[in-house]
Amino acid sequence: MELAEVEAPLEAVGGAERSGDLALGDRLGLGDSLGLGDSLGLGDSLGGRPEPGARGSPTLGLHASLGHTPAAPRPKEEAEEEEAAEAEADDEALRLALAELPSPPRPSPPREVDGLGGCAPVEGRAAHSAPGVGHGAGEVPGGGVLLCTVLGTWGDPHYHGLAGLELLDAQGAPLATRRDQLSADPADLNAIGGGGSDPRTVDKLLDRTRVTTNSAHMWLAPWQPPHV
């Protein structure tokens, strides 16, 4: 949050050149919105980014889904390094291709106030003073279902994972979480075959071994970029 002012000049420099990259970013936003069944609405994912983009262009949509539909089957977990590099190269090619396409005019995003029907009203929407965990009460959110959506990885096009997860209460103290409270979709690598023997299941997020390089204490699941 503190970077908002600082980076403002950068944003200004972006200008029209950014349309290509934005198109990729938009792809994420669009895919999510579709996946969530409009609970957020199409325009919502793009809110606050007024630059002209390629949203809604069927041409771009086609390119994007082609670019991200893996031509080859998902590689085996242990031997995908080359594939990953290729996929990255494809990504780069896609980015370049998109950058060269003219940006079609884009209608202003619809203001879907009603589209947020599923969202509980949020108190104190001015989120400028985020209370740090453990000091100050402020706006501590309460609820029953915590939904975490993975919108991107650090580069791997096929898998995503975590080594540990811990919920903190309003005072910043760890909140006891049981295995049966936690679920993932897709659950783990056993969801895509492999004989059900891969140990990297989602319950490993809750075991106390987090600072490790032993993947038997981690969770790994297939990942696919959200499609347009």
Residue with tokens 């349309």, as numbered in its chain: 19
Residues paired with residue 224 on neighbouring β-strands, in sequence order? none
Least Cα distance to 189 among 204, 171, 174 occurs for 204
In whole angstroms, the minimum distance from the beta carbon of 147 to another protein comes to 5
Least Cα distance to 44 among 107, 105, 110 occurs for 110
Q: What is the largest CA-CA distance in the chain?
A: 53
In whole angstroms, the minimum distance from the beta carbon of 100 to another protein comes to 14
In whole angstroms, the minimum distance from the beta carbon of 195 to another protein comes to 20
Query: For residues 201 and 162, what is the distance between their CA atoms, to the nearest angstrom?
Result: 10
In the complex with another protein, the residue whose CB is nearer, 57 or 228, is 228
Least Cα distance to 16 among 52, 49, 46, 47 occurs for 52
DSSP 8-state code for residue 181:
G
In whole angstroms, the minimum distance from the beta carbon of 105 to another protein comes to 21
In whole angstroms, the minimum distance from the beta carbon of 160 to another protein comes to 5
The DSSP-derived string for 8-75 is HHHHHHHGGGGHHHHHHHHHHHHHHHHHTTTSS-HHHHTTT--S---TT-HHHHHHHHHHHS-SSPPP
In whole angstroms, the minimum distance from the beta carbon of 104 to another protein comes to 20
